[in-house]
Amino acid sequence: SAVISQKPSRDICQRGTSLTIQCQVDSQVTMMFWYRQQPGQSLTLIATANQGSEATYESGFVIDKFPISRPNLTFSTLTVSNMSPEDSSIYLCSGTRGITEAFFGQGTRLTVV
Amino acid sequence: DQQVKQNSPSLSVQEGRISILNCDYTNSMFDYFLWYKKYPAEGPTFLISISSIKDKNEDGRFTVFLNKSAKHLSLHIVPSQPGDSAVYFCAASAPGANSKLTFGKGITLSVRP
């Protein structure tokens, strides 16, 4: 299995600011994804983090709001830009080596005030 | 539009009894289904999966049943243990989705000693 470390584990941020979440995998994974879990909701895919190129965003998510980097196979960052209280969520990084081996970080609990 | 539905938000069972967690889906293209377990302040961990070519998959105390005609799957845990108390997410994947998962909202299982 792979171990995925995310940081920070939680943060409280002022509206209008930006937060960058880091995700480190302890071994190579094929794909890396970023999910969001809003209160009482399911995990929703934000984007696929592509190594060395622009991320692939799902409907409803845009690069200006959620810029993502993946400079190598084991590291990715997600930035939540110009935050508003509606961005308060748990953000989860995921790495896969195939469908059955999807590993998740512990999540970043973000509160925007 | 929720493509994966977990309509019961919570379930409480007695230790030693069977827990049955249900999941319905609407996208007929889904061909792989997974269950994840999540403890507070931790990321989801993979539990068990099933391919659409099967109708049952068993792993120890956990069995997943798939009814394709009804677009329904269920997770059976028997016997249930207090350590099984967690949130359980149903997830699905379609061919060509590059390991992207569509999640339900989750069911909170409480196993009473």
Does residue A7 carry a pLDDT above 70?
A: yes
B78-93 residue pLDDT tens: 999 999 999 999 999 9
A51-90 residue pLDDT tens: 988 999 999 999 999 999 999 989 999 999 999 999 999 9
- What pLDDT score does B98 carry? 67
A73 touches chain B (CB under 8 A): no
CB of B98 closer than 8 Å to CB of B77: no
Q: Between chains, do A104 and B89 touch, taking CB under 8 Å as contact?
A: no
Work out the pLDDT band at A99, boundaries 50, 70, 90. low
- How long a stretch of residues is chain B? 113
Percent of chain A with pLDDT over 70: 96
Nearest to A100 among B45, B49, B98 (CB): B49
Does residue A2 carry a pLDDT above 80?
A: no
- What pLDDT score does A28 carry? 76
Q: B18: distance to nearest CA of chain A, Å?
A: 25
| Mean pLDDT score across all residues of chain A | 92
CA dist list (Å): B101 to A6, B95, B104: 20, 11, 10
Q: Between chains, do B42 and A92 touch, taking CB under 8 Å as contact?
A: no
Q: B41: distance to nearest CA of chain A, Å?
A: 6
- What pLDDT score does A27 carry? 81
Instruction: Write out the two tokens for B55.
Output: 């109708």
Does residue A40 carry a pLDDT above 90?
A: no
For residue B4, the Cα-to-chain-centroid distance in whole angstroms is: 10
> What's the CA gap between B61 and B76, in Å, rounded?
8
| Mean pLDDT score across all residues of chain B | 94
Q: Between chains, do A106 and B103 touch, taking CB under 8 Å as contact?
A: no
Question: Range with the lowest mean pLDDT among A27-31, A106-110, B10-14, B19-23?
Answer: A27-31
- What pLDDT score does B53 carry? 94
- What pLDDT score does B95 carry? 83
